[in-house]
Structure 1
């Protein structure tokens, strides 16, 4: 009987601890979202020449620099070939750049900000994306990104990102 009571007690403690963690996680998520959204809003306010469009309620903004051509359909399995420059907001420190190398990615395997933003253009198009951390790498620091561009510790956790993306090819 004591074992059953002990098991039930441990189960209840474990369950209540999970509830507290998830509530704290939601509050932390909302707080970081507010910080990210303020960074993007302040950046757009400081750069009034940028005419950015917000994608739904995501907090991701895009600026179409060249729309591109064609009737391309994007799905999760679409492979895109791109050239890009990634910068931190605020500050504009470059953390990634492809230069003459044009990598290909399956759309479902890139950050959510790209999944939302790249379909705003067609083949040959160019888009600028302002991506809050929740649609990039979130609270996970990326120590391998940015080191070659002078970011000593790599891309920090909760980084708000600014991407210039040229879409070279689309394969479905």
Structure 2
């Protein structure tokens, strides 16, 4: 309820602060930062979640911290178990077991995973809501992930090299 009231207050402040229609903070563009942030906050509120937001705009909750002495770098090759959904809770894809994405380094994954997976150690699990700018942006991934999709991910860091 508190988050709902904060969201309403936030919207009222945005409306009062907007200078012109050309500089609207809330956009109808599904890829805009403000419209995605509002959609993410609405999702969090509707699902009764408690999440942190980092400076990059990644929303996350550490489910299991894992081994805090074993933290990845961008050059690490993670082995993960993951699910990826959208804000409508439709499953987009999942690993259905552990995968290292054919030896892909963390720096070659989406920015949201680069940021989030370095918040946990080996064996940890993180729940993330990733705005499209930290995901695949305005590029569709085949027929699986449309452009400007906010990703809702649960990722377990099984291991890394």
Answer whether TM exceeds 0.5 for this pair. yes
Map of 1:69 onto structure 2:
67
Report the equivalent of 2:94.
Answer: 97
CA distance in 2, matches of 1:167, 1:132: 21
Aligned position for 2:23:
none
The whole-number CA distance in structure 1 between the counterparts of 2:71 and 2:126 is 17
State whether residues 79 and 160 of structure 2, in contact with CA within 8 Å, keep that contact through their aligned partners in structure 1.
yes
Asked if the contact 1:76/1:107 (under 8 Å) is kept, the reply is: yes
TM-score, normalised to structure 2, is 0.76
Which of the two has higher C-alpha Rg?
Answer: 1
Residues 60-139 of structure 1 aligned to structure 2 (within 5 Å): 60-89=58-87, 91-104=88-101, 105-139=104-138
The question of whether the paired residues in 2 share the 8 Å contact of 1:55 and 1:116 is answered with no
Query: How many Å apart are 1:158 and its aligned residue?
Result: 0.3
Cα RMSD (Å) of the superposition?
2.1
Q: Which moved more, 1:157-166 or 1:68-77?
A: 68-77
SS of residue paired to 2:67: coil
1:158 to 139, 148, 153: 148
- Relative to structure 1, the CA distance from residue 54 to residue 98 in structure 2 (aligned partners, 3 Å threshold; closer, same or farther) is same
Paired residue total: 133
Deviation at 1:81, TM superposition (A): 0.7
Are the equivalent residues in 1 in contact too, given 2:77–2:100 (CA < 8 A)? no
Are the aligned partners of 2:128 and 2:153 in contact in 1 as well (CA < 8 Å)? yes
Question: CA 1:139–1:28 in structure 2 vs 1: closer, same or farther (change >3 Å)?
Answer: farther
Whole-Å Cα distance in 1 between the matches of residues 128 and 144 of structure 2?
Answer: 20
Deviation at 1:154, TM superposition (A): 2.7
Closer, same or farther in 2 for the Cα pair 1:126/1:120, shift >3 Å? same
* Deviation, structure 1 residue 73: 3.5
TM-score scaled by length of structure 1: 0.71
- Residue 42 (structure 1) aligns with: 42
Shift of 1:69: 1.5
For residue 72 of structure 1, give the secondary structure of its aligned residue in structure 2.
strand
